Amino acid sequence: MQNYTVALDAMGGDFGPRVTVPAAVQALSRFPALKVILVGDRNAITFQLSQLGYSDSSRMSIVHSDQVISNSEKPSLALRRFMHSSMGMAIDLVADGVADACVSAGNTGALMALSRFRLKLLPGIDRPALISALPTVSRKCIWMLDLGANVSCDADSLFQFAVMGSALAEVHLGHQARVAVLNVGEEEIKGNDFVRRCADMLRQTQSIRFVGNVEGNQIFNDLADVVVCDGFVGNVCLKSCEGTAQLFIDKLKNQMFGASIKGWIARKLFSDLFIGLKTLNPDHYNGASLLGLRGIVVKSHGSADISAFANAVGEAVHEIKEQVPSRISDRLEAVLLERHY
């Protein structure tokens, strides 16, 4: 059995080592071939480990860093000031080949900036993209990208997102992914130049299963496995979904849980109804991955609890086993060959 190593930014997220250390222990018990490097304040990490009574130094090591990037830090400053932060050093471990992937629940913008700077882009990729699985009506998932790594993208970038998204989705699906472009209408003539040109390119690419445009209200309808958009649209779209979910939950709660007998019954019977429905944010759903880099970077949500952070480690393990970066390269090479000959 081949071992693999994941570097964890132990200080990232709302709870730091209190969540990341127990999550690491949980992941270690789930994946027998996993080794973990915890990057962060040695004292805080050791304290958590002693609380848990965990002492298997063959599978877990600590790399000390006394610098933490706060959530309010600007990404541009991360590169100048925070190379030696727990996040920066976790990424470095991947760049230096010591770890096979890194997971952080810290500042997303800083994670993107540091990852891109240290890991570099895969050949043929112009921009990295943030991707996440989202729920659909039929209990399946769709993968949506870019969710905010790039505020504007040309047709070539969108096309590369489609290839990267396919590669990741297929690792989970086990069969060819259906790819759609997020647009303002289903018809080919709809949209701006970039999405139209990207759709044209996808239509001409045999090795991608392009299923056409989807509209905003169809994202969750299981019409596609991968939905491609630029990071501005993706970010606004997903956050709007989150806002709507909250708006509806608030309205329904007001309607249901009023000061009446009906409200009393509702509180007794349905008080747990809205748990787990609060948000569609990819951060909250099950973490996001940065694709297009020469290394695996998984972003867990900041408010992740132990099992959610362990899930993000699980995603990293999955991407290591399936060698997602080289799958992306292979897929891109095949597509480019097809397009040029």
Residues that bind a copy of itself (CB under 8 A): 74, 135-137, 148, 151-152, 182-184, 187, 189-193, 215-221, 229, 231-233, 235-252, 255-256, 262, 265-266, 269-270, 273, 277, 280-281
Nearest to 4 by CA among 339, 323, 333: 323
Number of neighbouring beta carbons within 10 Å of residue 214: 22
Query: To the nearest whole angstrom, how small is the minimum distance from the Cβ of residue 292 to a copy of itself?
Result: 19
Tell me the two tokens of residue 133.
């699985």
Beta bridge partners of 214: 182
Nearest to 117 by CA among 97, 101, 94: 94
Where does 286-334 show beta strands of DSSP type E?
288-291, 296-299
Query: To the nearest whole angstrom, how small is the minimum distance from the Cβ of residue 65 to a copy of itself?
Result: 26
For tokens 């770890």, what's the residue?
99
Round to whole Å and give the CA distance between 37 and 29.
Answer: 15
Closer CB to a copy of itself, residue 31 or residue 220? 220
Query: To the nearest whole angstrom, how small is the minimum distance from the Cβ of residue 327 to a copy of itself?
Result: 29
Query: To the nearest whole angstrom, how small is the minimum distance from the Cβ of residue 118 to a copy of itself?
Result: 22
Question: CB of 149 within 8 A of CB of 130?
Answer: yes
Closer CB to a copy of itself, residue 76 or residue 326? 76
Closer CB to a copy of itself, residue 44 or residue 241? 241
Give 76's contacts (C-beta < 8 A, 6+ positions apart). Answer: 113
Question: CB of 219 within 8 A of CB of 227?
Answer: yes
Closer CB to a copy of itself, residue 54 or residue 274? 274
Number of neighbouring beta carbons within 10 Å of residue 137: 8
Question: CB of 105 within 8 A of CB of 302?
Answer: yes
Query: To the nearest whole angstrom, how small is the minimum distance from the Cβ of residue 228 to a copy of itself?
Result: 12
Closer CB to a copy of itself, residue 17 or residue 148? 148
Closer CB to a copy of itself, residue 150 or residue 300? 150
Query: To the nearest whole angstrom, how small is the minimum distance from the Cβ of residue 248 to a copy of itself?
Result: 5
